[in-house]
C-alpha cells in the first residue's frame, strides 16, 4: 500500500494545480481573419456554412462579426456584399429587416408588411429568407439581403449599393445563396 | 477482535474475487450510464461526470445541493487497482505456473494507471489552419482566456493570457505586464448577443463592438455540436483611476476590442485558450476525396510543412484519417474541415500516457498466451 502514496500525492498535486496568468511574446498574426473566432467556424467540428463565390466576384475575409466581404464585378465599386454571423436570433427577423431599411432611408415596417416582403430561396443548408428594398433619395440605394439560421448561429448576407449595380449583381448573389451548404450535414 | 485480525479481514475483503466482480459490474454500469448521459450532456461532460470523477453527483433542479448517487470511474478504478495489486501479492504464488497470471495482472494494473494518466494529464485542443497559413499554437474550445495583447510593436505582440477561471471569479485583475487593472463586472458562461434596438436600455459597454449589442445570459450548453457564447463585461482602469473603457467581450465576437494608453495599443478579447508550440505547421494542401459520382467522403488528408528550428526539423508530413502526426509529445489528427475545403482542422492531443494502453493490452495478451499455453502443455501430458 505504501507504494500507492507517491502516486496519490502526484495525482493530488496535478489535480489541484491552479491556472495562472501567462505572458508571452508572439509573432504578429498575419492570418486573414481569426478563423478560430466564434463568429466564423467555432468550434471544430461545429456546423458551419460554406458557399461558392460567384465567378468574377472578389472575396475578402472580414473582421469582427463580419465573416466575408465581396466585391461584385458589375458596375465595380458601386455595390458590395457582406456576410455577418451572429449567435442566436440577433434581435429577430423584424428588427434586422428594419435596421436594413433604416440604412437605405426607409421607414420601419410591421410584421404584416414583413411577411409580404419576404421571399425564400432553397439552399442545401435550408431555406434562406430574402428581402429586396429600394431606398428613397436621388441615388436610389438598393439592398438585397438573405437570412438563414444554422444551428445556433444566424447568418446575414447583404448586397447593398446603387440600384443599378445591385440589380445587375443580384442574380449572382441569389445563386450564391442557393449554393449555401452546411458543412456538417 | 484483535487489531491484527481486523486488519486481516479488511485486507482479505479488499483482495477478494467478489470485490473484483463488484468493481467490474460497477464499471459496466458506469459505461451504460455514461453512454446514456452523452445524449443530453455531450461526450466530454458525460465522461467528466461519470468516468473521470470519484463520485457521480446528482443535483435536484433549482437546488444548489449535490448528492452523491453512484461511485465514479475514478473510485471504482482505484479500488479495482488496489484489489488487483493486493490479490497479486497476497494470493498468487511466485511460481512459473502462475507467471502468465502475474503478467495479466500487471497489464490490467497498467490499464488503470493509463486511464488515470489520461484523466489527469491529457490536454485536448484543436488547430484550424487555412491553406498557406502557418500556425504555432493550438486552441482549447472548452476553456477560454481573456487575452490582453499589446499590439504596439510592428513585428511582435506581447500577450497576457488570463485563464477563464480567474475571469469567472470576478473582481480586480492586476499583473506586472499590464499598466492598468481589469475589473470584471459580469461574466456569463453562455449568452445570447443581439443587435441593440433603439428601444433597448443603454449599453453598459462604453466602447467597441459590444456597445452595439444586447447581452442576455443563457443556460450553458454542453452538447457535442453546441458552443457556449461566453460574455464578460470588463472595465480597464489606469493607475491614476481613469476608466479606459468598459467592453463586452465574447468568444462569439471575432475581432478584438481595445484602447490606447500612453501611446501603446492594447487589444482585448475572450477567446479559446491557446497553447503555444515550439514548432509550426504550414498547411500546403488539403484533399477531400469523395467516392466517384457521389458526395460521400472517402478520405481527408492534409499535407503540412513541419518546421522546428530548435530540433532542425523542416519536412513535409501527410496527415490523414487514422494517420496522425506524432511530434514533440503531441498527436495531430485530421478532425474537420471547412471554408470550401480550404481550411483543415486538426485535433491535437497531448497525452504522456498514450502508450500505456497499448503496453497493457500486449501484456494481458502475452499473459493469457503464457497461462493457457502452460495449461495446454500440461493437459497434453506435460509435468503436473
Q: Which residues of B touch A2 (CB under 8 A)?
A: none
pLDDT at B373: 93
Write the residue in B121, B157, B196 that is nearest to A26 by C-beta.
B157
pLDDT at A38: 32
Contact, B232 vs B217, CB < 8 A? no
The verdict on a CB contact (< 8 Å) between B194 and A26 is: no
Q: For B154-183, how does the pLDDT look when each residue is reduced to its tens digit (9 = 90+)?
A: 888 999 999 999 999 988 999 999 999 999
Q: For chain B, which ranges sit under pLDDT 70?
A: 1-3, 225, 254, 382-384
Closest B-chain CA to A44: B336
Determine what percent of chain B falls in helix, strand and coil, rounding each to the nearest 5: 30, 40, 30
Q: What secondary structure letter does DSSP report for B210?
A: G
Q: For B281-294, how does the pLDDT look when each residue is reduced to its tens digit (9 = 90+)?
A: 999 999 988 887 77
Write the residue in B250, B255, B345 that is nearest to A44 by C-beta.
B345
CATH number at residue A82: 3.40.1000.10
Closest CA–CA distance from residue A157 to any residue of chain B (Å): 16
Pick the closest to residue B268 from B317, B227, B207 (CA basis).
B207
Q: In this structure, is residue A155 part of a structural domain?
A: yes
The verdict on a CB contact (< 8 Å) between B272 and A36 is: yes
Closest B-chain CA to A98: B197
Q: What is the mean pLDDT of chain A?
A: 76
Contacts of B157 (CB under 8 A, 6+ apart): A25, A26, A27, A28, A29, B149, B150, B151
Q: In this structure, is residue A176 part of a structural domain?
A: yes
pLDDT at B368: 95
Q: Which residues of B touch A15 (CB under 8 A)?
A: 120
The verdict on a CB contact (< 8 Å) between B227 and A38 is: yes
Q: In this structure, is residue A13 part of a structural domain?
A: no
Write the residue in B120, B195, B271 that is nearest to A99 by C-beta.
B195
Task: Work out the pLDDT band at A184, boundaries 50, 70, 90.
Answer: low
pLDDT at B348: 95
pLDDT at B252: 82
Task: Work out the pLDDT band at A27, boundaries 50, 70, 90.
Answer: confident
Q: What is the dihedral of CA A163, A168, A169, A173, to 10 degrees?
A: 100
Q: Which residues of A touch B229 (CB under 8 A)?
A: 38, 87-88
Q: State the residue range of the domain holding A154.
A: 44-182
For chain A, how many structural domains are there in total?
1
Least confidently predicted of A125-129, A163-167, B65-69, B201-205: B201-205
Amino acid at each position: 500500500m505504501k507504494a500507492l502514496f507517491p502516486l496519490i500525492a502526484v495525482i493530488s498535486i496535478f489535480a489541484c494545480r491552479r491556472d495562472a496568468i501567462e505572458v508571452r511574446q508572439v509573432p504578429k498574426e498575419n492570418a486573414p481573419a481569426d478563423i478560430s473566432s466564434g463568429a466564423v467556424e467555432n468550434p471544430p467540428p461545429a456546423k458551419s456554412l460554406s458557399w461558392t463565390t460567384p465567378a468574377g466576384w472578389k472575396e475578402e475575409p472580414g473582421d469582427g462579426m463580419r465573416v466575408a466581404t465581396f466585391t461584385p464585378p458589375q458596375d465595380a465599386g458601386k455595390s458590395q456584399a457582406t456576410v455577418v454571423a451572429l449567435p442566436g436570433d440577433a434581435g429577430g427577423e423584424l428588427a434586422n429587416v428594419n435596421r436594413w431599411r433604416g440604412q437605405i432611408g426607409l421607414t420601419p415596417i410591421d410584421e404584416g408588411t414583413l411577411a409580404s416582403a419576404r421571399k425564400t430561396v432553397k439552399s442545401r443548408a435550408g431555406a434562406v429568407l430574402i428581402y429586396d428594398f429600394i431606398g428613397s433619395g436621388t441615388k436610389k440605394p438598393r439592398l438585397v439581403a438573405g437570412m438563414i439560421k444554422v444551428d445556433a448561429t444566424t447568418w446575414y448576407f447583404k448586397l447593398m449599393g446603387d440600384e443599378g449595380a445591385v440589380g445587375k449583381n443580384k442574380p449572382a448573389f441569389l445563386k450564391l445563396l442557393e449554393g449555401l451548404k452546411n458543412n456538417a450535414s | 477482535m484483535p487489531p491484527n485480525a481486523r486488519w486481516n479481514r479488511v485486507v482479505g475483503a479488499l483482495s477478494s474475487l467478489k470485490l473484483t466482480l463488484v468493481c467490474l459490474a460497477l464499471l459496466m454500469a458506469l459505461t451504460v450510464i455514461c453512454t446514456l448521459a452523452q445524449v443530453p450532456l455531450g461526450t466530454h461532460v458525460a465522461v467528466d461526470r461519470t468516468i473521470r470523477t470519484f463520485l457521480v453527483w446528482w443535483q435536484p433542479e433549482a437546488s444548489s445541493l449535490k448528492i452523491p448517487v453512484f461511485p465514479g470511474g475514478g473510485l471504482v478504478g482505484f479500488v479495482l487497482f488496489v484489489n488487483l495489486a493486493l490479490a497479486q501479492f497476497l494470493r498468487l504464488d511466485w511460481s512459473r505456473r502462475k507467471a502468465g497470471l502475474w503478467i495479466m495482472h500487471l497489464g490490467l494494473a497498467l490499464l488503470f494507471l493509463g486511464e488515470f494518466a489520461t484523466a489527469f494529464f491529457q490536454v485536448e485542443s484543436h488547430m484550424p489552419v487555412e491553406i498557406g497559413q502557418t500556425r504555432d499554437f493550438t486552441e482549447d474550445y472548452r476553456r477560454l482566456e481573456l487575452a490582453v495583447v499589446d499590439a504596439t510593436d510592428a513585428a511582435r505582440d506581447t500577450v497576457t493570457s488570463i485563464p477563464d477561471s480567474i475571469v469567472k471569479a470576478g473582481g480586480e485583475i492586476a499583473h506586472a505586464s499590464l499598466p492598468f487593472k481589469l475589473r470584471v463586472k459580469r461574466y456569463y458562461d453562455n449568452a445570447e448577443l443581439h443587435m441593440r434596438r433603439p428601444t433597448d436600455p443603454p449599453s453598459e459597454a462604453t466602447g467597441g463592438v459590444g456597445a452595439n449589442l444586447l447581452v442576455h445570459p443563457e443556460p450553458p450548453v454542453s452538447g457535442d455540436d453546441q458552443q457556449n457564447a461566453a460574455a464578460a463585461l470588463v472595465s480597464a482602469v489606469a493607475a491614476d483611476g481613469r476608466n479606459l473603457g468598459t467592453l463586452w467581450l465574447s468568444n462569439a465576437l471575432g475581432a478584438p476590442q481595445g484602447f490606447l494608453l500612453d501611446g501603446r495599443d492594447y487589444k482585448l478579447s475572450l477567446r479559446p485558450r491557446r497553447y503555444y508550440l515550439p514548432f509550426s505547421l504550414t498547411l500546403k494542401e488539403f484533399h477531400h476525396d469523395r467516392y466517384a459520382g457521389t458526395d460521400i467522403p472517402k478520405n481527408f488528408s492534409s499535407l503540412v510543412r513541419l518546421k522546428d528550428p530548435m530540433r532542425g526539423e523542416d519536412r513535409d508530413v501527410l496527415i490523414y484519417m487514422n494517420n496522425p502526426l506524432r511530434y514533440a509529445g503531441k498527436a495531430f489528427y485530421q478532425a474537420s474541415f471547412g471554408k470550401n475545403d480550404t481550411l483543415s482542422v486538426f485535433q491535437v492531443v497531448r497525452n504522456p500516457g498514450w502508450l500505456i494502453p497499448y503496453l497493457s493490452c500486449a501484456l494481458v495478451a502475452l499473459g493469457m498466451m503464457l497461462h493457457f499455453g502452460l495449461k495446454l502443455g500440461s493437459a497434453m501430458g506435460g509435468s503436473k
